[in-house]
Homo-oligomer: A and B are copies of this chain.
Amino acid sequence: MPMKLSFASDYEEGAHPSILRRLFETNMEKAPGYGTDVYTESAREKIRIACAAPEADVYFLAGGTQTNAVVISAMLRPYQGVIAAETGHIAVHEAGAVECGGHKVLTLPHHDGKLDPDELDACIRLWFKDPNRDHIVMPGMVYLSQPTEYGTLYSLADLERISAVCRASGLSLYVDGARLAYALACPENDVTLPDLARLCDAFYVGGTKCGALFGEALVFPRHDTVPHFFTIVKQRGALLAKGRVAAIQFDVLFTDGLYEKLGAHALAAAVRIRTALRGRGYHLAVPSPTNQIFPVLSSERERELTEKVGMSFWERADGGAVYRIATSWATTDEDVDALIKIL
C-alpha cells in the first residue's frame, strides 16, 4: 500500500539508520543495567562537552512528558508551582502530568508560543508583593520550550533576561528541548547548548523528535542539583533497565555533529516549503523559523490539501483553518517536491 504523503509530525519514522546500525553492532555485548554501562558514560561525556558543562549530570529518559513530570516534581517544593506559557506543552497536552505530581501550572499569556520576560518578571513580583501570598502557590520554576510549541525561538537576549529574572527571585529555569535540534540548526537561532547550560538549571535535548527511536537527554549543568535524582527517576517509573539502549542513540547523535546535521536537514526542507507557501500567497499563522509551519487554509484549500497530504489540524483562526506542516530529519526531497507541487 503506497503511503499518503505526510508531514503530520516529526516522529513518524523510526530512527536515523546510523543509530540502528550502532544498536546492531553493540547488540550482543554485555552491559550492566540502569545507566552504569560504558555507552551511557560515553554519551554523557559527549553531551557534557557539547554543552561546555564538564560537571553536568546527564540522564537518559524515554519521553518528553515523562522527563518534564519527573524534573518538575523533583525540583519543586510542595508549596511551589511552575510558570509556563498558556500554550506550553505541560499546560495543555500532557494530560495533567504536572498536577498528578502535586504541582500547579501557573500560566501566562503567550506571544507566538513564548513567554514575555517582562510579564514573567511582573508575575513573580506580584506574588512576592501579595499580602496573601502564603495562601497562594509560590512560583518555584519557569518552564519554557525551545523551540516553542509554535515553532518559534527565544533569542539569547530573551533567555539571558529570563534567567536573570529567575535567579533574582530564586526560581529554577527549565527548558524543554523536545525539538532542540531544529532550534540549534536554525539560522535565526543564537542560543547554543553552552548558553542553555549556563542559563538554565535543567534542560533536555530531545531525541524522540530528532532522530532517535525514543529518548531524551536530561542535563543538569551543575552536579547534584537534585540529590538522589536516580532514585526519583526509578520511583517515577522512568528508569530504563537497559540504559544502554537510550544512551547509544545519543552517543551516535553526538558523534561527528549528527544532531546538528539532522536539524539542518529538516530546516532546509522547511525553508523550501515556507518559501513555496509564501510564493503562493498563503498566510502563515505564526512566524515560526524552525521545522513547524502553520499555513492558514481556506475551506476549499483545506478540503483539497487534506485529501492529498497528512498535516496536523491546529485550530480554527484567522478566518480559516490553521494546519501544521512538520519537517524532520527524515523528510525526503521527493516528498518536499511532491508537497510543493500540490500546494
Residues of A within 8 A of B (CB): 3, 6, 8-9, 11-15, 17, 20, 23-24, 26-33, 62-70, 73-74, 77-79, 81, 92-97, 99-100, 102-105, 131-132, 134-138, 208-209, 213-214, 227-228, 230-232, 234-242, 244-245, 310, 313, 330
Give 11 CB contacts A-B under 8 Å. Answer: A13-B27, A13-B29, A14-B244, A14-B245, A30-B310, A63-B239, A95-B235, A97-B237, A99-B137, A135-B234, A138-B231
Q: Could you say how many copies of this chain the assembly holds?
A: 4
Looking at the complex, which one of B30, B214, B236, B240 makes contact with A245 (CB distance below 8 Å)? B214
- B66 and A81 form a contact (CB under 8 A): no
Which partner residue on chain B sits nearest A21 by CB separation?
B24
List of B residues within 8 angstroms of A69 by Cβ: 236-237
List of B residues within 8 angstroms of A310 by Cβ: 30
- A234 and B137 form a contact (CB under 8 A): no
- A214 and B241 form a contact (CB under 8 A): yes
Looking at the complex, which one of B11, B228, B237 makes contact with A77 (CB distance below 8 Å)? B228
Question: Told that A77-B227, A209-B241 touch, could you supply 11 new A-B pairs with CB distance under 8 A?
Answer: A14-B29, A15-B27, A20-B23, A63-B240, A65-B237, A67-B237, A69-B236, A94-B234, A96-B103, A134-B230, A214-B240
List of B residues within 8 angstroms of A238 by Cβ: 66, 237
Q: Within the assembled complex, what's the spacing in Å between the Cα atoms of A209 and B242?
A: 9
- A63 and B29 form a contact (CB under 8 A): no
Q: Within the assembled complex, what's the spacing in Å between the Cα atoms of A234 and B138?
A: 13
Which partner residue on chain B sits nearest A78 by CB separation?
B232
- Known A-B contacts A23-B14, A32-B12, A238-B237; the reply to A96 vs B81 at CB < 8 A is yes
Which partner residue on chain B sits nearest A24 by CB separation?
B20
- B79 and A232 form a contact (CB under 8 A): yes
Looking at the complex, which one of B77, B96, B102 makes contact with A137 (CB distance below 8 Å)? B96
Q: Within the assembled complex, what's the spacing in Å between the Cα atoms of A135 and B96?
A: 9
- Known A-B contacts A13-B29, A27-B20; the reply to A245 vs B103 at CB < 8 A is no
- B31 and A136 form a contact (CB under 8 A): no
List of B residues within 8 angstroms of A26 by Cβ: 14
List of B residues within 8 angstroms of A14 by Cβ: 23, 26-29, 242, 244-245
List of B residues within 8 angstroms of A330 by Cβ: 28
Q: Within the assembled complex, what's the spacing in Å between the Cα atoms of A17 and B27?
A: 8
List of B residues within 8 angstroms of A241 by Cβ: 11, 63-64, 208-209, 214
Q: Within the assembled complex, what's the spacing in Å between the Cα atoms of A138 and B137?
A: 23
- B63 and A231 form a contact (CB under 8 A): no
- B135 and A63 form a contact (CB under 8 A): no
Which partner residue on chain B sits nearest A31 by CB separation?
B12
List of B residues within 8 angstroms of A64 by Cβ: 241
- A95 and B231 form a contact (CB under 8 A): yes
